[in-house]
Amino acid sequence: MCGIVGLFLKDKSLEPALGAMLTDMLVTMTDRGPDSAGLALYGDEQSGVSKLTIQSDHPETVFDGLADTLTAAIGAPVTLDQKDTHAVLEVPTAQVEATRAALEAHDPAIRVMSVGDIIEIYKEVGLPKDVAARFSISEMSGTHGIGHTRMATESAVTTMGAHPFNTGSDQCLVHNGSLSNHNSLRRKLKREGVRIETENDSEVAAAYLTWKMQNGATLGDALESSLEDLDGFFTFVVGTKDGFGVVRDPIACKPAVMAETDQYVAFGSEYRALVNLPGIDTARVWEPEPATVYFWNH
């Protein structure tokens, strides 16, 4: 039993409040998953610049001088903005893979939370209110975002085991449910060259969608395929650079509710996650149908 939230903004005037709205939504879902929590936010794009959000258990020493070390290693400027145990590296887009390799060579204990042009992921063990406060999520702006509070069933309670999972550039996933064929699918995806770093079944779902989209599928196509290729019970909420998608398995035993207005599309595991959103009283509210893909793009 985990809690999922998602918010896709249509109205640009709401963008400065994205972090605050997502935080409120996720905190409401605390009792659905007290083990760990995380949020992914999509912000502004800078031409020629990409982001790597990284994490360390010892940020006070590990992040000191890291930007200079990476700049020297890749021969291009790297900036670092620390937020508690996480930091956002900004690097030239052409140097993303070189930066990732330099990080691994410098300190394999540094974990990469997300990679992309506009995505930032913050996640840690702990309650949603504490995780959100550590990273000042409520002060962040953006166009869309998703969040998750976890009750672990398939793997250990760790930072890397928390959601969201980022397995492709600017793509991430949160999941409520359990997949039964994740071990065999993990082996297949690794053979295909998709990066998977944990034993969490939800990361396999994220990696599956990455693999499908790398082979030409749209997000909608990939979500449709997941209904055939993934075994188990699941509700997925997925973010991409310009999109937001939702799908439930054919049995749809995991709770879900959606709301749409002229200003936003919102998702919550329960309606109480949505009650403080502006205009919710006049929103179109519905339960997503089983085996039906919903997605929106900017």
Where in the sequence numbering do the catalytic residues fall? 2
C-beta of residue 19 within 8 angstroms of C-beta of residue 63? no
Q: Exposed, middle or buried by CB within 10 Å (0-12, 13-18, 19+), for 38?
A: buried
The two tokens of residue 14 are 């709401």
C-beta of residue 93 within 8 angstroms of C-beta of residue 50? yes
**CA-based nearest residue to 257, from 17, 25, 100:** 25
**Phi/psi-derived region of residue 10, left when phi > 0, alpha when psi is between -120 and 50, beta in every other case:** alpha
Q: Exposed, middle or buried by CB within 10 Å (0-12, 13-18, 19+), for 154?
A: middle
Q: What angle do CA 15, 21, 79 make, to 5 degrees?
A: 55
